[in-house]
Amino acid sequence: MRDIKVDELLGKLTLEEKISLLAGGSAWVTKPIPEKGIPCVKTTDGPNGARGSRIKDGESAACFPAACSVAATFDIDIAHRIGVALGEEARTKGARSLLAPTVCIHRHPLGGRNFESFSEDPFLSGQMGIANVIGLQSTGVSATVKHFAANEQETQRLNVNAVVAERPLREIYLKPFEMIVKNANPWAIMTSYNKINGHHADSNLFLLQQVLRGEWKWDGLIMSDWGGINSTAASLNAGVDLEMPGPARWRKKPAVLAAMQDGELTEATINERARHILLFLKQLRCFDEPTYSDPGEEAINKPEHAALIREAGSKGIVLLKNQDECLPLTKGKLRGKKVAAFGYAKQCLAHGGGSASVKPHYRISPWDALQEALRGWDVELSYARGAHTFRQLPLLVDNVYDLTGNPGFTYNVCEIGNPTPKETIHGYDKSEMSLLDGHTLENVEVNLMAIFRPRETAAYYFTLSSLGVAQLSIDDKIVLQQNENCNDAMGFLFGGVPVPLVKVHMEKGKQYSIHIHASPLTSTKVQDLGFLEGQVGVRLGHMSSVEYEADVLSEAVDLAKESDYSIIFVGNDPSWETEGQDQASFHLPKEGSQDKLVAAVAAVCPRTVVVNSTGVATALPWINQVQGLIHTWFPGQEAGNSIVDVLTGAQNPEGHLPCTFPKRLEGCPAYGNFPGTYNSTDGFQVNYEEGVFVGYRHFDRLSPEKVNFPFGFGLSYTSFEISNLNIEKPLDNLYTLTAKVTNVGKVKGGIAVQAYVGRHAQLPDDLVKVLVGFKKVTLDAGQSSAVEIPIATRDFAIWDEKLQKWLVESGDYVFSVAKSCMDILATSTIAVERSIYEP
């Protein structure tokens, strides 16, 4: 490693050169200064795979389980191994900075990006994040821990003001970041889009200067989320070193120099921000090795990564119900039987939508995996879809011809108000264009034109959505139009927004002219458009009425009647659960279709098992009608194999819920305060009125009947006993919990032993208990093992807003060992002395 003296190098740069370092050079790459020997570094998304620079059509990548799935393993080793693999994957894409992990909190079940974060519990999130970051950075690739901070929703995410008191801010939302900063030393942190108590994250002096740089004494790189800078001087003064993406939007040299001339910025601040950039490049060995070339991206399908994905995916699956030991579906149970699969069986729900999505090397669907696993078992396997789940109609890509007669669309770009094209492309391959397709169309008008030749005579449904004003004409007649800005621009980009349908009768043998016209997104008093200002995006969907109106439910019921076992695969595909928008409903989409499918099949097939693939808790109105239920999250590219391994018993389920599954949305702690409201004084605002009572901290104070399944819950195909609880205090402010774990069942299995602490005599503001430790144990049948869990007093301290310090009051505390937060197996009451900790 070259001995790069950063301060000497900084001293050789002109002021203008230092300013140029403070924003990216392009979408994913920092700005180099070759003549001064300063290289660039490439970044890439994201938390469950290194995608590379192309969002939709780049090189394939390994798709790992989503963070919620990793957290459900309660296995630190798996989180670490995935971190190492992600670092190796990032290098195949020429990147040294991975935009991960995401450690925000599951505040509410409708959070659109919950799947991308670990848990509702800050301690579990922090521990998984520590392991992930250490593993990732061991490969020389930087973690970029995000999104700092209080970023628990997608609705109005560019400008929503999260109003949160300091105690919950410290104890819940900042704690995972603090744990990772102090125990893993991440090399970069990304600010969030939102405001926190009135100040955007990128200019929040309390978060960035007082807490992150000051109290936590962290000296890494702070970068913005993409388009997440909202000022020139304020963000620099607050401490954001790098504006992304490039080229600069706010940090153009004239703007920065003008701010300095006006006294809003000093050269010392510019020097400090540039110093962090150079230190980051040094940390990543960018001065020693070539770090970026275009394309510089490879699709390398590593067998060891595939094996890890399959293992981690299966170990994160949670068995929620197993009535009469319906599962596992062994060879002996299924011999000579008819097994029907429904719903998403033929789709691989590997990941959620948005920046956490990747183009996997391959996808294994449950149907593929079932066919392989049951080969030679004398089983008749069949399939019916059973439910319409599409959120958007498919793109129009077939039977369309551009204005030259070749397949595709003619696409042209015009100046606003001028119909004469300044650019024309023929053969454009689909009826959609947006930023995610690599189109950076700004302040122009766009046309997509084609001739459509229907395959059959039928009615056809069309939908149109757009960032700005748009219209669809068929044979020069306007049939759909959007007369205002999209009401959810981020939702448009990342999966779809509610759009009207139009039904048009078309005949085979005829041809129909299609013309889509789209204008840019424009400012309004209500919307802060950020980096989307002036952008153009449009999408046309279509489907024949034959498919759209098909009675798929009746077909499924008929099949279920003839089957011995029914396995229904339900969940959220990436258009339903995605960055950019919060969940449309607590119930599975679409419009109750999946719930109706489960209820109808269960009514005619007594051996019905449901496999639910979502990154969030969902309503389970049919829970008492089915024999089995497993929750799979988003397990990655090996999803089908991971799921079928658990269904057949090749892998004993050992996952535990990282979030509570409430019975009703109205019972959730943030209900009524999510996603917020708009008023003319404060703009869009969300109040965190539940305080520290998030997730199980809230439900602990209520009747157990309020939840379907509690935090930490998970069944197994075997049984475990935990005994001989003992608490010792080997050091001041550190306790050690020991217990004996025995597998008293008949097969090998794993369990996460959980430790909780709470005050014996509680005051109204006290939490009943908090998770303070856990340990994953895997045992053969009949095997026992001693478990040791260290418990730091600091981990059950509260933030005292008067003292401005962490406090553990003296008194009796209940130390518990548990299988879940509501399945406490043994307790010990310990007298704890008063302790105060600096922040």
Residues 70-124: tens digit of each pLDDT: 999 999 999 999 999 999 999 999 999 999 999 999 999 999 999 999 999 999 9
Give the CATH number, domain containing residue 570: 3.40.50.1700
- Domain membership of residue 460 (yes or no) is yes
**Residue bearing tokens 């996952």:** 655
Structure-block tokens of residue 308: 């890890």
797: CB partners within 8 A, 6+ apart:
806, 807, 808, 835, 837
The pLDDT of residue 493: 80
**Residue bearing tokens 């950039």:** 277
DSSP of 400-464: EE-TTSSBSEEEEEEETT--SEEEEEEEE-SSEE-GGGT---BSEEEEEEEEE--SSSEEEEEEE
363 and 427 co-located in one domain: no
Helix intervals (H) in 666-820: 696-699
SS3 annotation, 33-70: EHHHCECCCEEECCCCCCCCCCCCCCCCECCCCCHHHH
The pLDDT of residue 123: 98
Judge whether residue 563 has pLDDT over 80.
yes
**In contact, 580 and 112? CB cutoff 8 Å:** yes
**In contact, 102 and 146? CB cutoff 8 Å:** yes
Judge whether residue 526 has pLDDT over 70.
no
Q: Which of 720, 667, 693, 699 is nearest to 822 (CA)?
A: 699
Single-letter code of the amino acid located at 677: T
Give the integer Cα–Cα distance in Å for 59 and 54: 8
Give the integer Cα–Cα distance in Å for 676 and 161: 9
The sign of the CA dihedral 135, 137, 141, 143 is positive
Structure-block tokens of residue 423: 């650019």
535 and 568 co-located in one domain: no
Section 447-476 average pLDDT: 95
Tens of pLDDT along 4-52?
899 999 999 999 999 999 999 999 999 999 999 999 999 999 899 999 9
The pLDDT of residue 252: 97
Lowest mean pLDDT among 341-345, 436-440, 820-824: 436-440
Of 670, 696, 728, the position where a domain reaches its end is 670
Lowest mean pLDDT among 2-6, 165-169, 459-463: 2-6
Give the integer Cα–Cα distance in Å for 19 and 1: 27
**In contact, 658 and 83? CB cutoff 8 Å:** no
Give the CATH number, domain containing residue 497: 2.60.120.260
Q: For residue 222, is it left (φ>0), alpha (ψ between -120 and 50) or beta?
A: beta
**In contact, 550 and 387? CB cutoff 8 Å:** no
513 and 464 co-located in one domain: yes
Q: Which domain holds residue 765?
A: 718-837
The pLDDT of residue 196: 98
350 and 438 co-located in one domain: no
**Residue bearing tokens 């001739």:** 451
Single-letter code of the amino acid located at 464: L
- Domain membership of residue 67 (yes or no) is no
Judge whether residue 296 has pLDDT over 90.
no
426 and 506 co-located in one domain: yes
Of 670, 685, 701, the position where a domain reaches its end is 670
Tens of pLDDT along 234-282?
999 999 999 999 999 999 999 999 999 999 999 999 999 999 999 999 9
Instruction: Report the number of distinct structural domains present in the chain.
Output: 3
524 and 564 co-located in one domain: no
Q: What is the pLDDT of the chain when averaged over all its residues?
A: 95
DSSP of 123-188: HHHHHHHHHHHHHHHTTTPEEEEEEES-----TTTTT-EEE--HHHIIIIISHHHHHHHHHH--SE
**In contact, 632 and 642? CB cutoff 8 Å:** yes
500 and 451 co-located in one domain: yes
Section 605-627 average pLDDT: 98
| C-alpha distance across the termini of the chain, in Å | 35
**In contact, 739 and 728? CB cutoff 8 Å:** no
349 and 438 co-located in one domain: no
Judge whether residue 2 has pLDDT over 80.
no
Q: Which residues in 178-205 are b (16+ Cβ under 10 Å) and which e?
A: bbbbeebebbbbbbbbbbbbebbbbbbe
Provide the pairing of β-strand 770-779 with 512-518. Answer: unpaired
103: CB partners within 8 A, 6+ apart:
117, 118, 125, 126, 129, 145, 146, 176, 177, 180
Section 745-766 average pLDDT: 95
Q: Give the single-character DSSP code of 530.
A: G
**In contact, 284 and 291? CB cutoff 8 Å:** yes
Helix axes 303-315, 76-92, angle to 10 degrees: 150
Q: Which of 85, 93, 86 is nearest to 43 (CA)?
A: 93
Give the CATH number, domain containing residue 815: 2.60.40.10
Single-letter code of the amino acid located at 311: E
Section 138-149 average pLDDT: 98
659 and 616 co-located in one domain: yes
Q: Count H helices and E strands in the chain, helices first.
A: 20, 39
Give the integer Cα–Cα distance in Å for 480 and 518: 12
Q: Which of 839, 836, 838, 815 is nearest to 732 (CA)?
A: 836
**In contact, 637 and 62? CB cutoff 8 Å:** yes
pLDDT band, residue 1 (cuts 50/70/90) = low
- Domain membership of residue 253 (yes or no) is no
The sign of the CA dihedral 430, 433, 438, 439 is positive
* Phi, psi of 234, deg, nearest 5: -60, -40
Judge whether residue 525 has pLDDT over 80.
no
The sign of the CA dihedral 126, 131, 133, 134 is positive
Structure-block tokens of residue 454: 């229907």
Cα radius of gyration rounded to whole Å, the chain: 27
- Domain membership of residue 237 (yes or no) is no
Of 639, 670, 701, the position where a domain reaches its end is 670
Q: For residue 747, is it left (φ>0), alpha (ψ between -120 and 50) or beta?
A: beta
Q: Note if 202 is an active site residue.
A: no
Q: Which of 35, 74, 86, 167 is nearest to 806 (CA)?
A: 167
540 and 563 co-located in one domain: no
- Domain membership of residue 749 (yes or no) is yes
The pLDDT of residue 747: 97
373: CB partners within 8 A, 6+ apart:
644, 648, 650
Provide the pairing of β-strand 798-800 with 477-482. Answer: unpaired
Q: Which residue in 45, 75, 121, 225 is the catalytic one?
A: 225
Q: Which of 295, 244, 318, 233 is nearest to 267 (CA)?
A: 233
Give the integer Cα–Cα distance in Å for 813 and 735: 12
- Domain membership of residue 496 (yes or no) is yes
Judge whether residue 530 has pLDDT over 90.
no
SS3 label, residue 72: helix
Tens of pLDDT along 487-506?
778 778 877 677 888 999 99
The pLDDT of residue 293: 58
pLDDT band, residue 433 (cuts 50/70/90) = confident
Tens of pLDDT along 780-824?
999 999 999 999 999 999 999 999 999 999 999 999 999 999 999
CB atoms within 10 A of CB 32: 19
Give the integer Cα–Cα distance in Å for 169 and 195: 13
Q: Which residues, in sequence order, are bridge partners of residue 23?
A: 243
- Domain membership of residue 5 (yes or no) is no
**Residue bearing tokens 């995916």:** 313
* Phi, psi of 380, deg, nearest 5: -95, 115
Single-letter code of the amino acid located at 397: V
Single-letter code of the amino acid located at 544: S
Lowest mean pLDDT among 20-24, 248-252, 290-294, 459-463: 290-294
Give the integer Cα–Cα distance in Å for 669 and 688: 9
753 and 795 co-located in one domain: yes
The pLDDT of residue 522: 83
Tens of pLDDT along 697-745?
999 999 899 999 999 999 999 999 999 999 999 888 899 999 999 999 9
413 and 541 co-located in one domain: yes
Give the integer Cα–Cα distance in Å for 629 and 497: 30
- Domain membership of residue 595 (yes or no) is yes
pLDDT band, residue 442 (cuts 50/70/90) = confident
